Amino acid sequence: MCGIVGFINDIDNSNAVLSKMMDRIRHRGPDAEGKYIDDGIALGHRRLSIIDVTSQGDQPIFNEDKSMVIVFNGEIYNYAEIREKLTGAGHKFMTNTDTEVIIHGYEEYGEKLLDMLRGMFSFVIWDRNKKKLFGARDFFGIKPLYYAIMGKSFMFGSEIKCFLEYPNFRKELNPEALENYLTFQYSPTNETFFRNVYKLPPAHCFTLENGKFTARRYWDVNFNADNTPDLDEWVNRISDTFHDSVEAHKIADVEVGSFLSSGVDSSYVACIADVDKTFTVGFGTDEKYNEIGWAKNFSKAIGKENTSKVITPEEYWGNLAKIQYHMDEPLADPSAVALYFVCNIASEHLKVVLSGEGADEIFGGYNVYSDPDGTLYDKLPRTVKRTIADIAEKLPAKRGVNFFVRKGRDVEERFIGNAYMFTPEDRKKLLKIKTSAPAPAEITSKFYKRVQCKDDVTKMQYLDLHMWMAGDILLKADKMSMANSLELRVPFLDKEIMHLAEQIPTKYRVTHEKGTDETKYITKYAMRLSAKKDTPPQTAGTASKKKLGFPVPIRVWLKEDKYYNTVKNAFESKYAQEFFNTELLVKLLDEHRNGKSDNSRKIWTVFIFLVWYDVYFNKNGEY
């Protein structure tokens, strides 16, 4: 695991600039650094040693005749098999790294190499003869890759903050990203919060040649249910494929640990991986916010050592600025802070951890997936439900009211992912600035069109796989782990597992218990049964436990004087007044404090943007 940076070399002091850019992401690779500078290119690399921990694994790495050079971030789990084929084709290897396999593989197979890889990656290859830059990002977007185009300048890197050191970089806020963020709680398009800075989307590659930048998708998810196998066979297939993936993800020359909560995903990973150490964090003593007890009992049952930490409110709030600095863009997911702390305690013991991200998107685990067509209300005529939804939408947001709003809308209208903060109308009222940001449905429509003939559960999964997972889940996983110089691996996010899950019928992803008085939905149905089969009997309750995620008591804290005043001061600040009608922000805060409505997530979304803006624009990106 590493960090990469680079730029098309059209400046005189490229060595000094490259050093400063690399220093910005030293946390991604504190073990070693390397540079390659030529007339056309400057490439930099920071290394966290995992495979071939000797200096032979340092980057950049060349092919045999040094006509190509690569910088790479990630892990290729099937590199040994690919290396064997390349050796048979006559390639000579100088190291035992997966990095060298990629460059020889590209030399041999070109862009078709991407179809052969199994792992997480972002990399860039410079072809010295053709003066051509080629880069790619992994299938799910586990590893980030940003690029900036400013006039004749082209930069790329694992994190945006490294661009701040480039002399021709113009730091400007992208107001469209702010407006989109207010609805999604993350930046949902390929644009970022910095104007002219972009994210290479997951499963995309790019070329830059003769000043022309082109990008294309090289892989996609393809849900196509196979109704032939019965449930038991699917359960066994999941078990076999998951065991294989976990074994592949344990490849390392250093110790590997595992994160652990009370949920089935991380429990399944920890048990199958058979690691020595597990790590857990929580808040206070209330089980709604603290899964440490569950995790310790599970660890004891599987004979492993658990290290845990209770995060105090002071620690949580005191680290928000540091965390938003590391995030590069504002992310209003409160669990990102908890993830930072569990990465921090794990990094004190080892360099690599396994985690359960991706299981919900792949196997159908989010509670919202159980919503479609599950009640008697769904049997009402569509026109009646839409009329009721129109009325309910005008009422104050509450759980019961939201039910009628959801049920009166098609999935394409109502579902943009696991978070829906401000409606387009509300965000326009809230913003003082005018933008040309698209409506949420415009952003999601291109994904829904690809699965327009599928059922609603499949549509929601497909959307989440392409937006929520990359924009929220994997963003915080990469940035919080790398902030602590820790490699985080996600064995559910494996091509072989995805290929299997694409074939599982919807009824085995989300189902309901028969014979009960009321409909009780079970998400990740087949996967839960697989976990139950593979874990000890005394831990069986974990496989059926309702999903919690990383629960954080934000709504409670915002009613306390100390944190209420912290947020209010930010809402009334001069820089808040540049963007927002601040009296509406304070009204949201006061209504929450007085118990009129739970505005905690909306408040948090705006507050986190202000924390991020203060770091990157008031403090010039210094922390």
Residues serving a catalytic function are 2
Q: Is 420 exposed, middle or buried (0-12, 13-18, 19+ CB in 10 A)?
A: middle
Which of 498, 478, 491 lies closest to 270, judged by CA? Answer: 491
Distances (CA, A) of 586 to 167, 258, 560: 39, 41, 15
Partners of 217 in the β-ladder: 204
Handedness of CA 222, 227, 232, 233 (dihedral sign): negative
Helix (H) or strand (E) holding 306: strand 305-310
The bridge status of strand 2-8 relative to strand 68-76 is: unpaired
Q: Is 53 helix (H, G, I), strand (E, B) or coil?
A: coil
- Tokens 């007085």 appear where? 594
- Tokens 């306390």 appear where? 560
Which of 151, 149, 74, 170 lies closest to 118, judged by CA? Answer: 74
Which of 338, 330, 369 lies closest to 465, judged by CA? Answer: 369
Handedness of CA 242, 245, 249, 253 (dihedral sign): positive
The bridge status of strand 510-512 relative to strand 212-217 is: unpaired
What is the distance of C-alpha 376 from the center of its chain?
Answer: 36
Whether the CB-CB separation of 379 and 364 falls below 8 Å is answered with no
Q: Is 380 helix (H, G, I), strand (E, B) or coil?
A: coil
Where residue 435 falls (left for φ over 0; alpha for ψ -120 to 50; beta otherwise) is beta
Would you state the structure tokens that stand for residue 237, as one six-digit string? Answer: 């297939």
Whether the CB-CB separation of 485 and 28 falls below 8 Å is answered with yes
Distance between CA atoms of residues 62 and 100, nearest Å: 7
